Chain A
């Protein structure tokens, strides 16, 4: 049974770069799946950030594309998110999940709260 776990700093300074890693266990990240990031600001709804496949190909949300970079490390069985030039509006719980061929997300990680504050 595939499980995902987010990790990374819980506090980032404004204008800095948010960095998170999602470690996949119980399965290989090299399987023919896409791996996705979704975020949820406190008290608000879900926002899709983007996704990556084992070849390194990526698709990003157009609204975040200029600030987002995703990467994948098959040797570590994890994938990563970098979000540049963060502001308080980027404060959120960040989730990683596996994408299906028909674009539903399952399973999800437990989430990592990242706060942007000086």
Chain B
């Protein structure tokens, strides 16, 4: 059971907007800790996608965006491409002094 809750799977067509939610609690996201997102293609290491809630590292396409409100955060993919099929993880920090992850969401591009 992950500390942060994500839907197991989402899907969308290239012309759509897909969102992945990440729900935490008052001891992590709600305590003001930043949320970060990673993309993991099977067989490879996770790759940083969004950091500090809304920021994209250099090289990440602008179709990826992040937001945070209260005890939750979201990753949006506007017009997903075939190469975006992957597992997506949110991550934050907890007042128990531990980094915490969501359980992961598999994105299928229709």
Binding site for B on A (CB under 8 A): 36, 38, 45-48, 51, 59, 61-63, 95, 100, 102-111
Q: B101 near A105 (CB under 8 angstroms)?
A: no
Interface of B toward A, CB cutoff 8 Å: 2, 33-34, 36, 38, 44-48, 51-52, 57, 89, 91-93, 96-104
How many whole Å from B51's CB to the nearest CB in chain A? Answer: 4
Say whether, besides A103-B33, A104-B36, A46 and B101 are in contact (CB < 8 Å). Answer: yes
> Contact: B101 with A59, CB < 8 Å?
no
Q: Compute how far the CA of A62 lies from the CA of B104 in the bound complex, rounded to whole angstroms.
A: 21
Could you show 11 A-B contacts with beta carbons less than 8 Å apart? A45-B101, A45-B104, A46-B91, A48-B98, A61-B98, A63-B98, A103-B93, A104-B48, A104-B51, A104-B52, A110-B45
Contacts of B52 in A (CB 8 A): 102, 104
Contact between chains at A102 and B99 (CB < 8 Å): no
